[in-house]
Structure 1
Amino acid sequence: MLATSLRDAGMMTIRIARVQAATPDLEVFLSDHLRDMQATAPPESRHALDMSRLLSPRVRLFAATMDGALVGTGALAELEPGHEELKSMRTSPRMRGRGVGSVMLAALLCDARDRGIRRVSLETGASDFFWAAHRLYTKAGFDECEPFGSYVEDPHSIFLTVRLTA
């Protein structure tokens, strides 16, 4: 288990651990994520994974908890050797703006780097709903890129990538 801390009106300890199996809390959390995405784009432009796909062997799902409560998720999905896709980044609405997403993103990039992954890419929405996510990814060094993997140009999507160094 990765453990990390961040300061926010006192010290909070956020624990980030790899998820190997579904739990009721995680299923609700990820169902809420899928529901949040419904208003942001038409169905063919929404690319969030459901629980069964997040638990597939080609995906590494992680959960962030604080005081035992689920506060965030993130995943890395294999695209090709050395290149993975960031998936299912979500912070609990009550914890948004408090650094949970930054801690999760740092942990995911560290996990990828430790395993020799050289590039991490992502697709995110283009609407104002995703403004905070765009800011988070840009601060972490992601740059806009062309569609990757099986994605195609889509006015509802923005594609970003970052190169990792050892």
Structure 2
Amino acid sequence: MISIDRDDPARSDVHQLLSEHLADMFATSPAESVHALDHSALSVPSITFWTAREDGGLLGCGALKLLDSPAGSPVHGEIKSMRTTASARGRGVATLMLRHILADARARNLERVYLETGTEDYFAPARRLYARHGFTECPPFAGYVLDPNSVFMELRLQANHAGLLPAQ
């Protein structure tokens, strides 16, 4: 059975997966368009980091970064460092991780979750995954700028002030 739990990004097997992730990002995109975080950047208090494991073996990881809000408490989040091990691809691990992150965001009463991913063919499966879960393209957010190598996406989680029901 696959379990998803909070974990330490500096843990040796996770550190290796994140290093592979960064290497792939730099091999696929220009350096100025790589927004992936290393294990130390994922260890800050504003980021919650999880791993998916089966019988102790690492299958993947993902994180939720709380974005600054002018009113004080965060109302938006950003998905960071979604990655599945090569041996776990095609097993639904990314879907399980995404659902877990979104459930956490809903539990925190976040209104929106954003993400940035690449435009290259390498990122097409990720874009399809996010679109299947209701994400739509949006303008840059949280300090990002327009970049021909980046796609920005958002998912609205909470009701707006007009009284609409929360997104499912």
- For the criterion TM > 0.5, the same-fold answer is yes
Amino acid at match of 1:94: S
Distance change (3 Å), C-alpha of 1:103 and 1:109: same
Q: 114, 138, 147: which one pairs with 2:140? A: 147
Q: Distance in 2 between matches of 1:76 and 1:21?
A: 13
Q: Distance in 2 between matches of 1:19 and 1:98?
A: 21
Q: Name structure 1 gaps, 5 residues minimum.
A: 1-12
Q: 56, 63, 68: which one pairs with 1:68? A: 56
Amino acid at match of 2:76: H
Q: Distance in 2 between matches of 1:143 and 1:21?
A: 28
Amino acid at match of 2:49: L
The count of corresponding residues between Structure 1 and Structure 2 is 154
1:31-79 deviations in whole A, cap 9, x for unaligned?
1110111121111100000111101001111111011101010001111
Where does residue 36 of structure 2 map in the other structure? 48
Q: Distance in 2 between matches of 1:115 and 1:54?
A: 19
Q: Distance in 1 between matches of 2:8 and 2:130?
A: 26
Structure with the bigger percentage of strand? 1
SS of 1:37's partner is helix
Q: Distance in 2 between matches of 1:119 and 1:18?
A: 21
Where does residue 163 of structure 2 map in the other structure? none
SS of 2:134's partner is coil
Where does residue 94 of structure 1 map in the other structure? 87
Where does residue 35 of structure 1 map in the other structure? 23
Where does residue 46 of structure 2 map in the other structure? 58
Q: Following TM superposition, by how much is the alpha carbon of 1:98 offset from its aligned partner in structure 2, in angstroms?
A: 1.4
8 Å contact from structure 2 (residues 138, 152) kept in 1:
yes
TM-score computed with the length of structure 1 as normaliser: 0.90
Q: 123, 130, 137: which one pairs with 2:123? A: 130
Where does residue 19 of structure 1 map in the other structure? 7
SS of 2:28's partner is coil
Please tell me the root mean square deviation across aligned C-alpha atoms, in Å: 1.0
Matched, 1:85 2:78: yes
SS of 2:18's partner is helix
Where does residue 8 of structure 1 map in the other structure? none
Percent identity (aligned): 51
> 4+ runs of 1 displaced by more than 4 Å?
none
Q: Distance in 2 between matches of 1:144 and 1:100?
A: 23
TM-score computed with the length of structure 2 as normaliser: 0.89
Q: Following TM superposition, by how much is the alpha carbon of 1:112 offset from its aligned partner in structure 2, in angstroms?
A: 0.7
Where does residue 158 of structure 1 map in the other structure? 151
Q: Distance in 1 between matches of 2:19 and 2:53?
A: 17
Q: Name structure 2 gaps, 5 residues minimum.
A: 69-73, 159-165
Distance change (3 Å), C-alpha of 1:136 and 1:21: closer
Q: Distance in 1 between matches of 2:9 and 2:56?
A: 17
Where does residue 101 of structure 2 map in the other structure? 108
